[in-house]
Copies of this chain bind each other. A is one copy, B any other.
């Protein structure tokens, strides 16, 4: 999935309403907006700047997006519903479908996927992180489409492994929080905080899984 931003946008919005495809200019506007929003933040970005970078007239932006905020929403809303949500929910069903017999198989899959996605969509992720706190509409969407669903399924997964006797019987939400913290801590360090380091993604992933599993595993294990 998520090969690169351009495809994302194109496919996304074509899927949306097959007849009402995006024009070339619309795509240019979106791309320009994404780039500048992520660099300077929504509030500090002017529509004229976007128009210039997109190579269109200022008026053209408002032909496609009623307001500047509309443009932000048009980026973030489908990002949440069409991209983040599927990514976020990916792999969860496979646990119950027995594709991932162990919690660590599941961990490996979600870390791998989210990292790949994060690497390819830094701009979008930055916008998401930076703008959600300031826009209640986005917060609501995020909560409903991502947070709630993810937590629901995550809960099922964790309970499943807890009942199976693989995971410790500590509060489920604590397990989830610990897992997400450790995984996201790695991903965020990797792509946002110190991307300039030479990362051995494979090795760091395995170490992270190991550390998480040591914390959560019901059986004690020997260590190096």
Report the Cα distance A40→B41, complex, angstroms.
12
Report the Cα distance A216→B214, complex, angstroms.
8
Which residues of A are interface residues toward B (Cβ below 8 A)? 40-41, 43-44, 126, 130, 133-134, 168-171, 174, 177-178, 180-182, 184-186, 189, 204, 207-208, 210-224
Tell me whether B222 and A220 are in contact (CB under 8 A): yes
Chain B positions within 8 Å of A134 at CB level: 40-41, 44
Chain B positions within 8 Å of A182 at CB level: 178, 181-182, 185, 215
Q: Which residue of B lies closest to A174 (CB)?
A: B207
Chain B positions within 8 Å of A174 at CB level: 204, 207-208, 211
Given A181-B185, A214-B217; 15 other pairs, CB 8 A cutoff: A43-B44, A126-B133, A130-B130, A130-B133, A168-B223, A174-B211, A181-B186, A182-B215, A185-B185, A214-B215, A214-B216, A215-B215, A219-B223, A220-B221, A220-B223
Secondary structure type dominating chain A contacts: helix
Report the Cα distance A170→B180, complex, angstroms.
21
- Please indicate which of the listed interface residues A41, A211, A224 has the most CB atoms of chain B within 10 Å of its own CB: A211
Q: How far is the CB of A191 from chain B (nearest CB, A)?
A: 13
Report the Cα distance A220→B211, complex, angstroms.
12
Partner of A177 from B41, B189, B215, B222 at Cβ < 8 Å: B189
Tell me whether A185 and B178 are in contact (CB under 8 A): yes
Chain B positions within 8 Å of A171 at CB level: 207
